[in-house]
Amino acid sequence: MGGEVPAKPVPTAAQLERATWCDVTFTCQKEFNEAQKLYNRNVFVSLVVLGAISLIVSFFISHLTAVSLGLSLGGVLSLIVGPVRYWNDMDDYLRVIVLGIALVALIWLGVKKIKE
């Protein structure tokens, strides 16, 4: 019984574990956001390219009405989903360009359909 008493208690394993805890929302969120921006950009580019290809192919095979209609609707849907998905990460000048292209395409499509 004459032993010395330490001034501070020795930390337990649970206390040490809490001391090395990592705030996931702080440390990992930045990396996740950057990766998600890159992914959204890649999805945007691929949907716009594939949508445009689908629309072009649908105009060339207009003699197959059902296939042409399916390709054109799929292309339009791809051209809508792509920019909507990337809209929050898009730069302002790119938003103006996308809206301008969409406006020109809709006017051209409307004029073409009215003539038929």
In a 3-state reduction of DSSP, which class is residue 5?
A: coil
Q: Please tell me the distance from the alpha carbon of residue 46 to that of residue 58, in angstroms, as a whole number.
A: 18
53-99 pLDDT per residue, tens: 998 898 888 888 899 899 989 998 998 899 899 888 888 898 899 88
Q: List C-alpha distances in Å: 72 to 45, 46, 67, 83.
A: 18, 16, 8, 17
* Predicted local confidence at residue 22, as pLDDT: 65
Task: Give the mean pLDDT of 93-110.
Answer: 86
At residue 48's C-alpha, the angle toward residues 47 and 52, to 5°, is 115
pLDDT tens digit sequence for 38-49: 999 999 999 989
Q: How far apart are CA 111 and CA 116, in angstroms?
A: 9
Judged by average pLDDT, the poorest of 33-42, 64-73, 100-109 is 100-109
CB 86 within 8 A of CB 100: no
Rounded to 5°, the CA angle 15-17-22 comes to 125
